[in-house]
Amino acid sequence: MLEMKVFRENPDSIFNDLKRRNASDEIVKEVIKLDKKWRAFIEKGNGLRAQRNSISKEIGELKKQGKDTSSVMEKMSGIKDKLSQNEKETKEMLDLRDQARMRVPNILEESVPIGEDEGGNNEVSSHGSKGNILNPKPHQEIIEYISGADLKRAAKISGRRFYFLTGDLARLEMALINYAIDYLYQKQYTLTIPPFFMNREAYEGVVDLNDFEEVMYKIEEQDFYLIATSEHPLTARFKDEILEIKKQPLKYAGISTNFRKEVGAHGLSDRGIWRVHQFAKVEQVVICKPEDSELMHNELLNNAIELFEGLELPFRVVDICTGDIGTVAARKYDLEAWMPASQQWKEIVSASNCKSYQSVRLNMRYRTPEGTEYPHTLNATAIATTRALAAILENNQKDNGSITIPRVLHKWMNGQEKIEAQ
RNA sequence: GCAGAGGUCGCUUAGCCCGGUAUAGCGCCGGCCUUGAAAGCCGGUGGGAAUAUUCCCUCGGGGGUUCAAAUCCCUCCCUCUGCGCCA
């Protein structure tokens, strides 16, 4: 949600942004209109309350002196009626204003490329080499012959898009997690294991409202949603608080299982463990002063790049365009791994600068000499295990069916260097 | 889950019994002092609306009683202590 002062002082910045997104600006006009009405109600209410307070004082004085109060009491009852009517209208107007305001997307950074969909994304850089694999097998086949996962029985007891990770592949997942955690520890990110359930109110602070239908699972009959990423609890953690951000930004490494409905996703490219309802992810989360957020965005992106360079995987960095970026982020970069079997680049990391969009909704501020200010929030994948595993399986497959384990992971695999076909 | 005690401005805390504009300390910011700093002293330090100046809101959330609620009543949430249960 955008700060109200943007609508009041610089609405053109929103209108221009929506033009770049090729989106309607009706909703912005609605917010501005409702805000004016709300302010008129507030003023009227303040006047009534001022009257009420002064009459109330008068009554106190009169009673102290033992004088008659019936005439002022009568005046009071008229004011109280008007005030309760006004309070109802004021609240309604504020609710309407903020319902509309919630639907206005973040203002994008000016350099975000313009485009209709993912086809408009810009490749920024590429890393590693694609290798030379003869007849590469897709990861869902490799999983079978190394006995790395059991999707069939997972489907029997849970449903499609679930899996048992088994043996060396499960060990490899733990190695990836440890690899990411140790890397971020060295960069001063505080490891944080969050709650996996969050209530609706907190959740509204960090996501697009559509996500409630399309992404998060709701616990039946209870005000709980399963988290879709540790970014959500880590960012919502300081809701309604005034933080002390000294020099250093607040930096966290979140780790959790993530739960996603994946509504509407189908197709060949989603087989195996690429798109699943449940997966582990190490996430980077930063809360910082506005002036630091661009720098921190680069840091998060560089961390992801270094992690995947360490894994010796071929990947590229993509600058996400206006049509593909969504409502919350002001700038977003993805890392896309090269998948030899399908000959496609596929998303493995997403790094977003949300600016103050989340902190406004969360009512999370930090103290400055002049008062309070909304901090910027940023998030980026460090390693999402299932996708990293799929990329490793496809890129590291050998002619004899074995999989070489990236060197940086050996220390968490008891020195094991490859996974053999069973 | 049961019983008791609690939730007050960034943090700590007084006020609650007995209703009438929220107290003090710490931290932070500014000023004085100083070669510089510390200490000391002085002032400021939640949010909103409009501004020569003001006005309003804010004591965990919601509701009620009252001319008037941090204070009384109801309700929900959370924390602590003890008991119970438990990986």
A199 touches strand B (CB under 7 A): no
What pLDDT does A265 receive? Answer: 67
Does nucleic acid strand B have an atom less than 7 angstroms from the CB of A369?
Answer: yes
**Per-10-residue mean pLDDT, chain A, length 422:** 89 94 93 91 88 87 80 84 86 87 93 94 95 91 94 93 95 97 95 91 85 89 90 89 79 95 76 94 93 94 98 97 95 97 95 93 81 88 97 95 96 96 86
pLDDT of A63 reads: 82
* SS (HEC) of chain A: CCCHHHHHHCHHHHHHHHHHHCCCCHHHHHHHHHHHHHHHHHHHHHHHHHHHHHHHHHHHHHHHCCCCCHHHHHHHHHHHHHHHHHHHHHHHHHHHHHHHHHCCCCCCCCCCCCCCCHHHCEEEEEECCCCCCCCCCCHHHHHHHCCCEEHHHHHHHCCCCCCEECHHHHHHHHHHHHHHHHHHHHCCCEEECCCCEECHHHHHCCCCCCHHHHCCCECCCCCCEECCCCHHHHHHCCCCCEECCCCCCEEEEEEEEEECCCCCCCCHHHCCCCCCCEEEEEEEEEEECHHHHHHHHHHHHHHHHHHHHHCCCCEEEEECCCCCCCCCCCEEEEEEEEECCCCEEEEEEEEEECCCHHHHHHCCEEEECCEEECCEEEEEEEEEHHHHHHHHHHHCECCCCCEECCHHHHHHCCCCCEECCC
Is the Cβ atom of A52 within 7 Å of strand B at any atom? yes
Tell if A91 CB is < 7 Å from nucleic strand B: no
Residue–nucleotide distance: A367 CA to B29 C1' (Å) = 11
CATH T-level topology, domain A4-102: Helix Hairpins (1.10.287)
Please give the class, per CATH, of domain A118-419. Answer: alpha beta
In Å, what is the separation between the CA of A191 and the C1' of B87? 23
* Bases in strand B with any atom closer than 7 Å to a protein CB: 10, 20, 28-30, 46-50, 55-57, 67-68
The reply to whether the CB atom of residue A56 sits less than 7 A from any atom in nucleic acid chain B is yes
Looking at residue A50, what is its pLDDT?
Answer: 87
What is the structure's pLDDT at A53?
87
Domain borders along chain A are 4-102, 118-419
A413 touches strand B (CB under 7 A): no
Q: How far is the CA of A241 from the C1' of B9 (A)?
A: 13
ipTM higher than threshold 0.85 = no
